[in-house]
Amino acid sequence: MRTLNATVALILIVGSTLLNAATYKGQKIYMDSCKTCHGGGQELAGSKKQRAWKKLMDNKGEKLVDIHLSSKKASASWEYFKDRSFAKKAKHLEDFLVEYASDSGNVPACN
């Protein structure tokens, strides 16, 4: 019985750590790839509500990619958005943007 309780506790601890890691990874992606154009994380993430970020990030950020690729002002980021690595990292970026959206009540520490 003790081993069962210990196993369940370990799974819960590891699971919660992995869930938080996605937001942290998204914050790192933002800092590395988005901050130069969009400023601090609070500025961009706080510019939309959670539901709006989820819609923009559907299908691995397809709508966000379209917005950037159709804007001449965003031409410096075209290579980044055309790369497959963006699609792989989009979920983490979504977690970050949703976590710190204007209606979340959270403020990122990456300004």
Q: Are 97 and 44 in contact (CB under 8 A)?
A: yes
16 versus 43: which is more confidently predicted? 43
Neighbours of 33 (CB within 10 A): 17
- Evaluate if residue 16 carries a pLDDT over 70: no
pTM: 0.75
What's the pLDDT at 65? 94
Burial class (CB in 10 A: 0-12, 13-18, 19+), 38: middle
Residue-range domain boundaries for the chain: 23-99
Model pLDDT for residues 48-107, shown as the tens digit of each residue = 999 999 999 999 999 999 999 999 999 999 999 999 889 999 999 999 999 999 998 888
What's the pLDDT at 15? 57
